[in-house]
Amino acid sequence: MSFDSFEAVYYDFNQKVKNKQYNEALDLIPTLLQCAQSDIDVFYTLMGKASTLTSLKRDDDVVKTYDEVIDNFSHSQDKTIIRFLAYAYYNKALIYAKKYEFEKELATYNELLEKYIDDFSLEIEIVLAKSYMNKAICINELKGFQEALNVYKELVKNFENTQNQEVLEYVVHAAYNIALILGKDSQIENSIKEYDYILSKFDNSENEKIQEFIAKSLVNKAARQQELDKYEEALKLYDEVVEKFDNATGQIRNQVALALHNKSVLLSELHLDEELMKTCDAIIEKFANSSDEMIANIVSTAEVIKDKEKFNKNSF
């Protein structure tokens, strides 16, 4: 079969990919390279080849193809190539992650970030934020959570003022992970400061994923306050979760249930029985019909506490 132009061959290639005729699509790669009239034609061809090989799970060939892309175009001045070249690095790193080759994955993220972080365009903010997040996870696998801490901090520093909502989701996630790591390391007050950063910077966000981290941060901050024996502050934070997210759904709703449960545990420890009963009533009233396993367990615990109290009142 002959074609008049690169565009015609490329159209046929995309149709075969769309129809999941991946091997037939790969058969067109040599023809595409022959028909290519410019660097951008070659670039699109090789990126298409890598994507198709990924669909076939031919991981070694995927890496070789991305290496070919990087070798050929790492010094390109074409703005389109520069932008999409970042995805060649990123997708190559994902293959190494899939194969548990963490050293190679880390080296690829480092190469990507070194190339782009000092002068990146808004179009590739998201791939850079994802690379930082994955780099932190990779370093955690190789060296532990303390080493990952600095990567999360870099992510927050570099992107905290972005206008891209998807990138901000990674910023708040990274800040939340920083707070968790500090908490694990017994740096309780520093952990609380990080939760305060999240709460002050993102409190007015209408992004549902960010709101989930707000709810989690309030619950976790309360738990850290308990560790410092600041029980009144902890109780106020649990109440704030309920007040702020009482009408929420999904995972945020789970945080409301968890806040009430943690509050009931603290009230029990403080022997504030009247408030404890009110909290158990609130749990049962709000969540008795929930099908979520975690929430169902919280409801069951509240019911046991109430039954125990009823037994104690009726006993001699």
User: For the residues 261-287, what does the mean pLDDT come to?
Assistant: 96
User: For the residues 242-249, what does the mean pLDDT come to?
Assistant: 94
User: For the residues 184-202, what does the mean pLDDT come to?
Assistant: 95
* Residue 81 exposure: Cα atoms within 13 Å on the Cβ side: 19
Tell me the H-state helices in 187-249.
188-202, 208-227, 231-245
Distance in angstroms (rounded) separating the CA atoms of residues 281 and 271: 17
- Contact criterion met (CB below 8 Å) for 51 and 90: no
Can you give the pLDDT at residue 256?
97
Distance in angstroms (rounded) separating the CA atoms of residues 8 and 46: 17
Q: Residue 316: which pLDDT band, with cuts at 50, 70 and 90?
A: very low
45, 76, 107: which is the final residue of a domain?
Answer: 76
Q: Torsion angle of alpha carbons 131, 118, 200, 243, nearest 10°?
A: -30
pLDDT at 312 over 80: no
The model carries a pTM of 0.90
Can you give the pLDDT at residue 122?
86
Token pair of 97, please?
């992650």
61, 76, 91: which is the final residue of a domain?
Answer: 76
User: Among positive and negative, which fits the CA dihedral 158, 160, 164, 168?
Assistant: positive
| pLDDT averaged over every residue in the chain | 94
Can you give the pLDDT at residue 4?
64
Give residue 240's domain range. 207-316
Q: Residue 2: which pLDDT band, with cuts at 50, 70 and 90?
A: very low
More confident: 38 or 312: 38
pLDDT at 315 over 60: no
pLDDT at 35 over 80: yes
15, 46, 76: which is the final residue of a domain?
Answer: 76
Can you give the pLDDT at residue 307?
81
264 falls within a domain: yes
Q: Residue 311: which pLDDT band, with cuts at 50, 70 and 90?
A: very low
User: For the residues 32-61, what does the mean pLDDT come to?
Assistant: 97
158 falls within a domain: no
Q: What percent of the chain has pLDDT over 70?
A: 96
More confident: 31 or 185: 31
108 falls within a domain: no
232 falls within a domain: yes
- Contact criterion met (CB below 8 Å) for 247 and 286: no
Q: Residue 185: which pLDDT band, with cuts at 50, 70 and 90?
A: confident
DSSP string, 38-65: SHHHHHHHHHHHHHHHHHTT-HHHHHHH
Q: Nearest CA to 125 among 91, 81, 158?
A: 158
pLDDT one-digit tens code per residue, 129-166: 999 999 999 999 999 998 999 999 999 999 999 999 99
Can you give the pLDDT at residue 314?
47
DSSP string, 238-297: HHHHHHHHTT--HHHHHHHHHHHHHHHHHHHHTT-HHHHHHHHHHHHHHHTT---HHHHH
Query: Domain count of the chain?
Result: 2
pLDDT one-digit tens code per residue, 71-125: 999 999 999 999 999 999 999 999 999 999 999 999 999 999 999 998 778 889 9
CATH of the domain at 2: 1.25.40
Q: Residue 313: which pLDDT band, with cuts at 50, 70 and 90?
A: low
pLDDT one-digit tens code per residue, 209-231: 999 999 999 999 999 999 999 99
142 falls within a domain: no
34 falls within a domain: yes
- Contact criterion met (CB below 8 Å) for 136 and 174: yes
120 falls within a domain: no
Can you give the pLDDT at residue 308?
72
More confident: 316 or 294: 294
1 falls within a domain: yes
Can you give the pLDDT at residue 119?
78
